[in-house]
Amino acid sequence: MNEDEAMYGIIANVLSDHVLRTGARVWILYANVPQPVVVGVSKGGRVVEKRTHYKRLTNYRAAWIPEHMRERVLLSWPEREEAAREAEKIAAMWRGVRFFHRDGHMLQDGVPESEAWKRSGSGE
């Protein structure tokens, strides 16, 4: 692929995380199911790379990858439509999945994580 060609990846916003700021935009660098590796802004204001969980993210969407991020973002596509389709698949799988804050109170009620895996067809 030519260096000048556009590349598209998937970004999302943080619902809740111990390290990342709530609402922060993160790039999904690569998928290590069920914990993708993301890069985003920490609560302390630093840019950090970490594993999180898909259910702790929301608003998955396709975005153009800036040149300085292209080596890091391994989950990428040459066409925006392809990236948007993949983002919608992830969003559909994890939409309405129950999860809890680290202190134990429920942040989002919904189906258990096992149901999300059944939606994907992977059955993990």
Q: Contacts from 80-89 at CB under 8 Å and sequence distance 24+? A: 80/6, 80/8, 82/8, 83/8, 83/9, 83/10, 84/8, 86/10, 86/62, 87/10, 87/60, 87/61, 87/62, 88/60, 89/120
- Give the range of the structural domain holding residue 100, as residue numbers without chain letter: 8-120
pTM of the model: 0.79
Kindly state whether residue 1 falls inside one of the protein's structural domains. Answer: no
Kindly state whether residue 95 falls inside one of the protein's structural domains. Answer: yes
Kindly state whether residue 35 falls inside one of the protein's structural domains. Answer: yes
Kindly state whether residue 14 falls inside one of the protein's structural domains. Answer: yes
pLDDT at 94: 77
The pLDDT averaged over each successive group of 10 residues in the chain (124 residues) is: 74 90 93 85 92 89 94 94 94 73 61 62 50
pLDDT at 35: 86
- Identify whether the C-beta of residue 21 lies closer than 8 Å to the C-beta of residue 42: yes
Residue 38, token pair as written in the block: 């993301």
pLDDT at 1: 45
Kindly state whether residue 57 falls inside one of the protein's structural domains. Answer: yes
Kindly state whether residue 2 falls inside one of the protein's structural domains. Answer: no
pLDDT at 121: 59
Kindly state whether residue 20 falls inside one of the protein's structural domains. Answer: yes
Kindly state whether residue 91 falls inside one of the protein's structural domains. Answer: yes
Q: State the total domains in the chain.
A: 1
pLDDT at 22: 87
